[in-house]
Amino acid sequence: MLPTDNQVLKYQFKSEEKLPVRIWEDSREASLYVARAIGLAIKQKQQEGEKIVLGLATGSSPIKVYGELVRMHKEEGLSFSNVVTFNLDEYYPIDPGSQQSYVRFMNEYLFDHIDIKRENIHIPDGTLPMEEVEAYCERYEKLIDMSGGIDIQLLGIGRTGHIGFNEPGSWENSKTRLIRLDSITRLDALKDFLREEDVPYRAITMGIGSILKARTIYLLAWGQHKAGVIQKAVEGPVTMQVPASFLQNHPNVKVIIDRGAAEELTRFKSPWLVGICNWDEDLACKAVVWLSKQVGKPILKLTDSDYNENHLSDLIIEYASSYSLNIKIFNRLQHTITGWPGGKPHADDTFRPERAKPAKKRVIIFSPHPDDDVISMGGTFLRLVEQGHEVHVAYQTSGNIAVHDHDAFRYIEFLHEFGLTQAIITGEGEKLCRDVTQFLLNKQPDQNDTPETRLIKGLIRRGEARAGARFCGLSDDHIHFLDMPFYETGRTRKNPVSEADISIIVELLRSIQPHQVYAAGDLADPHGTHRVCLEAILAAFERLKAEKWLSDCWMWLYRGAWHEWPVDEIEMAVPLSPQELVKKRRAIFMHQSQKDRPPFPGEDEREFWQRAEDRNRATAQYYSALGLAEYEAIEAFRRWRFLL
Ligand code: F6R
């Protein structure tokens, strides 16, 4: 859930939770808290003239903690001279110099920037011959004990529930050892390896027993894609099927999560099951939608006894009767449905999601990658254009890392064979074609694309995006390519959002002065690109807050290819007919380089158009099960209310 209010404070109940959980607004604040706690512990040990032993994790979860520790070293003089570290794991086999090695990760994010003694750093060795691994693991374990044991252990959590690389089936008392990676974990690792066949099948990991010996443990998790596994680890039984649940047997664990990762906890999902609620209409809506699903009845058929038997008797008391509550929530949901996403001209808009005026709106659709516009809101896009609004689409990043080499090669070859190379590509251009050809012919699995290759790949995606937007009815001068610099690393790891990124968006907003903005509010994107793209838009609006036009600008958030808004949070539901759904599919098909199997498919085997259709159909079915009209498909949006 992308919060717009302080629901965390509203839902204070937590009796299902078997681990202490602390929920933060966002991962940055949470990471600062953890980094500060580590910094304090380091200083305390320094004052006592002692070493401190840290257990460290890699992956996306601890990155901001490391960033803050580096800042504290550089700006506040925090010294790491008394720090000894043991990393949880390393792929096996792996060359420590390769991009995906955890040695390289740790150097890049932490060790190269602080004054830690190199001899105090320990990372499992992924280069050993197989016959030496067992003895090595025993030594690693002993070394931790001989250093006095781990004082503070940082953990991330995998979607399988793994901590370290202790996959489901690991024993509670397991020690450092060589393990086989779960297929889900290998799929997740694809984001770093590019090709499935390059992801190692094994890793060396500290065991659950080794982790549980640490004196203090911080488990970090960010984003909705971690919500399910966090719920299992925190509220579920202790089981080797969810290795993180063994943390429930440790006396000093702190689970540090952001709101996205907290979404599935009972205190958010169905707080009435764990305490007395402070009812407002949002919470009542959540409860009624939940109850309707729970008992399998449409809203208008829910009875007092349905409420009473499902922990919701105080809700009925609050609203006098189930009859009046049912009608209230039914109407609320009914009013989210509109075939006029830009507002219905000359109609009473009291209960419509959008304003009727101005009848013709200036609209910007921000699309983080070049295909999110049509995947996530293709039907709404088509309607906005058909209904005569001035629609602009802004592709925020080039999307160039998600193009297969063979596609780039095909385009280059086409240019050569068409015989136009000499005629239209003179000097520089021809050299560029030759360089890219040479590079692609000799490219190693571990190699980043050259800037020229990225250019070609970016152009491929540009062409596809243009085709998709033209298909939706846009003229070329309404198609904007922002090529935000944070994305241009040539790797899956991106830079943080910078001034340059924000200024590009400020300029576009200022030149169009839109009445309506659509942006991706899907924060479950595994590479974080959607998150950064939204951050940049919000920062741009913050800069523009003094401008008059902004008071008449509404922003709607759609969710990308991964999750949909929970039904009770949807504020605008745009129905699609069967024909419109087919049209949307054709717009998505314009993105040929992403068809069949894109380089970064994520955890889902389905193609993007299939995911989009399944999701839009599921929303429509949900609406119909609640007793609302039955549509073929629905695209859903939530309004962002600026706190300017
Ligand atoms: C990394 C490790 C793993 C990760 C986990 C989550 O050293 O041991 O358990 O912590 O896979 O990864 P991210 O943080 O990338 O979601």
Confidence at residue 3, expressed as pLDDT on a 0 to 100 scale: 35
Residue 414 CB partners (closer than 8 Å, separation 6+): none
Residue among 68, 90, 141, 167 flagged as catalytic: 167
Residue 397 CB partners (closer than 8 Å, separation 6+): 368, 369, 370, 482, 483, 484, 487, 529, 533
CB 605 within 8 A of CB 183: no
| Ligand 1 lined by 61 (C-beta under 6 Å) | yes
**Which of 2, 640, 641, 636 is CA-nearest to residue 377?**
636
CA of 188 to the centre of ligand 1 (A): 10
Q: Is residue 294 located within the same domain as residue 394?
A: no
**Cα torsion through 387, 389, 390, 391, rounded to 10:** -70
CA of 158 to the centre of ligand 1 (A): 6
Residue 348 lies in a domain: no
Q: Give me the domain span that covers residue 444.
A: 362-403+434-640
CB 205 within 8 A of CB 278: no
Confidence at residue 252, expressed as pLDDT on a 0 to 100 scale: 97
Residue 420 lies in a domain: no
The span from the CA of 142 to the CA of 213, in Å, is: 12
Q: Is residue 127 located within the same domain as residue 31?
A: yes
Q: Is residue 381 located within the same domain as residue 319?
A: no
Nearest atom in ligand 1 to the alpha carbon of residue 58 is: 7
Residue 167 annotated to the active site: yes
CA of 31 to the centre of ligand 1 (A): 15
Confidence at residue 33, expressed as pLDDT on a 0 to 100 scale: 97
Q: Is residue 150 located within the same domain as residue 279?
A: no
Residue 12 lies in a domain: no
Torsion sign across C-alpha atoms 22, 26, 27, 30: negative
Residue 112 lies in a domain: yes
CA of 86 to the centre of ligand 1 (A): 15
Nearest atom in ligand 1 to the alpha carbon of residue 162 is: 9
CA of 87 to the centre of ligand 1 (A): 11
Q: Is residue 262 located within the same domain as residue 326?
A: no
Q: Give the 3-state secondary structure of 456-468.
A: HHHHHHHHHHHHH
Peptide bond into 93 cis (omega under 30): yes
Instruction: Give the strand order in the sheet containing 554-558.
Output: 479-481, 390-395, 362-367, 516-520, 554-558, 633-640, 572-576
The span from the CA of 463 to the CA of 442, in Å, is: 26
Q: Is residue 70 located within the same domain as residue 110?
A: yes
Residue 428 lies in a domain: no
Work out the end-to-end distance of the chain between its first and last CA atoms, rounded to an integer number of angstroms. Answer: 21
Residue 152 lies in a domain: yes
Residue owning the nearest CA to atom 8 of ligand 1:
164
CATH number, residue 219: 3.40.50.1360
Q: Which residues of the chain have pLDDT under 70?
A: 1-14, 194, 416-428, 523-527, 560-562, 597-603, 643-644
- Of 318, 334, 350, which closes a domain? 334
Confidence at residue 420, expressed as pLDDT on a 0 to 100 scale: 54
Cα of 219 vs its chain's centroid, Å: 18
Confidence at residue 410, expressed as pLDDT on a 0 to 100 scale: 80
Q: Is residue 187 located within the same domain as residue 291?
A: no
Residue owning the nearest CA to atom 2 of ligand 1:
164
Q: Is residue 287 located within the same domain as residue 366?
A: no
Nearest atom in ligand 1 to the alpha carbon of residue 156 is: 10
CATH number, residue 580: 3.40.50.10320
Domains: count for the chain: 3
Which pTM does this prediction carry? Answer: 0.85
| Ligand 1 lined by 86 (C-beta under 6 Å) | no
Q: Is residue 397 located within the same domain as residue 526?
A: yes
Nearest atom in ligand 1 to the alpha carbon of residue 61 is: 14
Residue 200 CB partners (closer than 8 Å, separation 6+): 91, 92, 93, 94, 181
Q: Is residue 152 located within the same domain as residue 36?
A: yes
Residue 61 lies in a domain: yes
Nearest atom in ligand 1 to the alpha carbon of residue 163 is: 9
| Ligand 1 lined by 225 (C-beta under 6 Å) | no
Residue 14 lies in a domain: no
Q: What is the pLDDT of residues 71-81, one digit of tens each?
A: 999 999 999 99
Q: Is residue 198 located within the same domain as residue 298?
A: no
Confidence at residue 524, expressed as pLDDT on a 0 to 100 scale: 55
CA of 213 to the centre of ligand 1 (A): 19
Confidence at residue 599, expressed as pLDDT on a 0 to 100 scale: 66
Six-digit token string for 182: 């779960």
| Ligand 1 lined by 156 (C-beta under 6 Å) | yes
Confidence at residue 31, expressed as pLDDT on a 0 to 100 scale: 96
Q: Is residue 589 located within the same domain as residue 467?
A: yes
